[in-house]
């Protein structure tokens, strides 16, 4: 899909904008809590690519995107950490279901596990 402006200048691809603009994704989210949760979980701890362009968001950002797409008066907190809830069909944060992967591919996006990009000599605290 990619994102364009009114002057038709190409902008950096943004998965959230592509999701907002895709009616059939919104319909799936509005009619299925499981699909919505699976989309939220997919956006957590993963990186998304449209060609060579990378996109990613936080767990809170993921929850907010899903809440906005559903347009049901929800907030990010309605989805945040929902991968830890024991409900049929729900998956842990970072899991990508086949349906979500295929839907993102239809939009031109691929998903890969997040890998921090560190410069030589830069370390993170991993407990």
**pLDDT tens string 64-113:** 999 999 999 999 999 999 999 999 999 999 999 999 999 999 999 999 99
pTM: 0.85
Distances (CA, A) of 108 to 33, 49, 53, 99: 24, 8, 11, 14
pLDDT in tens, 14-69: 999 999 999 999 999 999 999 999 999 999 999 999 999 999 999 999 999 999 99
- Give residue 66's region: left, alpha or beta (phi > 0; psi -120 to 50): alpha
């Amino acid at each position: 899909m990619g994102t364009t402006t009114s002057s038709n200048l190409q902008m950096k691809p943004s998965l959230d904008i592509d999701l907002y603009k895709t009616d059939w994704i919104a319909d799936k989210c509005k009619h299925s809590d499981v699909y919505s949760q699976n989309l939220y979980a997919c956006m957590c701890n993963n990186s998304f690519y449209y060609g060579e362009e990378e996109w990613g968001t936080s767990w809170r950002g993921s929850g907010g995107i899903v809440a906005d797409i559903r347009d049901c008066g929800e907030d990010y907190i309605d989805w945040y950490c929902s991968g830890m809830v024991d409900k049929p069909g729900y998956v842990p944060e970072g899991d990508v279901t086949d349906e979500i992967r295929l839907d993102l591919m239809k939009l031109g996006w691929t998903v890969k596990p997040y890998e921090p990009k560190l410069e030589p000599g830069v370390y993170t605290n991993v407990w």
